[in-house]
Amino acid sequence: MKTLLTLVLAFALTAAGALADAPKTVIHFITVAFKADATPAQIQAALDGAQKLPIQYKGILRVWTKALKVQNLDEAKVKKTHVIAMEFADEAALAAYADSDAQKKWYELYIPIRQQSTTFDVTN
């Protein structure tokens, strides 16, 4: 019994430590359906532009654009084909990104070919 209590206490302390050490970054997910007439070159330019955002905006730490799996509901009227994930330093960096010069520059490539998108912001 003493061993079991020791194990439970050790697990609880480890779990509490893991939560305390959890990153405070924010992951901004964008699922995208591009317009039917968007060319592969235009789509690639938008994805490449997203990849350049960490250089252009200090609050973005990383960007991912290579979708390994995309799931759509069968009844979805517009099927999403791509996902872009951006890691922001914190919630303040995400908030300040809105209408920033970096966002406006990327939007010049992205918005004209975007049919529909959905965003999710996640943190610990």
> Does residue 12 sit within a domain?
no
> Does residue 64 sit within a domain?
yes
The percent helix, strand, coil of the chain (3-state, each to 5) is: 45, 25, 30
The residues, ordered by sequence, that sit 6+ positions from 33 with a Cβ below 8 Å of its Cβ are 78, 79, 80, 81, 114, 115, 116, 117
Q: Which domain holds residue 71?
A: 23-122
> Does residue 34 sit within a domain?
yes
User: Measured between alpha carbons, how far is 85 from 63 in angstroms, rounded to an integer?
Assistant: 6
Residue-wise pLDDT tens digits, 57-116: 999 999 999 999 999 999 999 999 999 999 999 999 999 999 999 999 999 999 999 999
Strand, helix or coil at 122?
strand
At 110, which CATH number? 3.30.70.100
> Does residue 2 sit within a domain?
no
The residues, ordered by sequence, that sit 6+ positions from 103 with a Cβ below 8 Å of its Cβ are 57, 97
Residue-wise pLDDT tens digits, 45-72: 999 999 999 999 999 999 999 999 999 9
The pTM assigned to this predicted structure is 0.81
Strand, helix or coil at 105?
helix
> Does residue 18 sit within a domain?
no
> Does residue 59 sit within a domain?
yes
> Does residue 33 sit within a domain?
yes
> Does residue 95 sit within a domain?
yes
